[in-house]
């Protein structure tokens, strides 16, 4: 999977806990030198995705913040039994999941 991080701001962004990775203003960075585990462990990246300062792109489409955060969560077969992505009429995207104990969550 291609992982591009798009900087949506007019200032350079530096992600300290990813080795000081720099993304120029209004530009993107292809994360070819980063492992998925590095990305999953980056608290700085999660903060930037949540704020909207960085957008995750898979080479085809931009992900919403909630989709990107879900994408970088480590896979856990015991937890995620099924999930569905829903889009409300106002454009908000919801990811609804049910775990094996029947707990429903939405993000």
Rounded average pLDDT over 82-107: 74
Backbone angles phi, psi at 16, to 5 degrees: -60, -45
82 HSE (CA, 13 A, CB side): 2
Residues 6+ apart with CB under 8 A from 27: 6, 7
User: Tens of pLDDT along 25-42?
Assistant: 999 888 876 677 788 888
56 HSE (CA, 13 A, CB side): 23
Nearest to 49 by CA among 33, 61, 67, 24: 67
The pTM of this model reads 0.66
User: Tens of pLDDT along 42-52?
Assistant: 899 999 999 99
Q: What is the mean pLDDT of the chain?
A: 82
pLDDT value at 22 more than 60: yes
pLDDT of residue 48: 95
């Amino acid at each position: 999977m291609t992982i591009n991080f798009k900087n949506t701001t007019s200032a350079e962004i530096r992600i300290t806990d990813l080795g000081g990775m720099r993304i120029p203003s209004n530009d993107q960075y292809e994360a070819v030198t980063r492992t998925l585990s590095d990305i999953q462990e980056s608290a700085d990246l999660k903060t930037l995705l949540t704020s909207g300062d960085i957008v995750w792109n898979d080479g085809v489409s931009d992900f919403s913040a909630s989709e990107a955060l879900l994408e970088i969560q480590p896979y856990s077969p015991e937890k995620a039994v099924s999930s569905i992505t829903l889009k409300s009429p106002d454009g908000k995207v919801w990811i609804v999941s049910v775990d094996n104990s029947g707990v429903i969550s939405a993000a």
